[in-house]
Amino acid sequence: MLTRSAAGLGRLSLLAVALTACATARTHHTVAGDPVAPPATYVQAVNRDFDDVDVRLSVNGAELPLGTLPGMASRTFVVPARYILGDESDYRLVAVRHGARVRLESPSFPMRLGQRVVWTIELQRYVPPMAKAG
If one compares 81 and 126, the residue with the highest pLDDT of the two is 81
Q: Note whether residue 12 is domain-resident.
A: no
Answer yes or no: is 94 within a domain.
Answer: yes
Residue 27 half-sphere exposure, CB side, CA atoms within 13 Å? 8
79 occurs within a structural domain: yes
Write out pLDDT tens, residues 53-107: 999 999 999 999 999 999 999 999 999 999 999 878 999 999 999 988 889 999 9
pLDDT digits (tens, 9 = 90+) for 14-32: 222 322 223 333 455 556 6
Give the CATH number for residue 78: 2.60.40.2890
Q: Does 109 reside within a domain?
A: yes
- The answer to the question of residue 83 being in a domain is yes
Tell me how many degrees the CA angle 79-75-121 measures, rounded to the nearest 5. Answer: 100
**The pTM of the whole model exceeds 0.75:** no
Structural domain tally of the chain?
A: 1
Domain that holds residue 66: 38-121
Q: Are 115 and 41 in contact (CB under 8 A)?
A: yes
Can you give the pLDDT at residue 29? Answer: 55
Residue 45 burial (CB < 10 Å; 0-12/13-18/19+)? buried
Considering the domain boundaries, does residue 1 fall inside one? no
- Specify the length of the chain in residues: 134
Residue 61 lies in a domain: yes
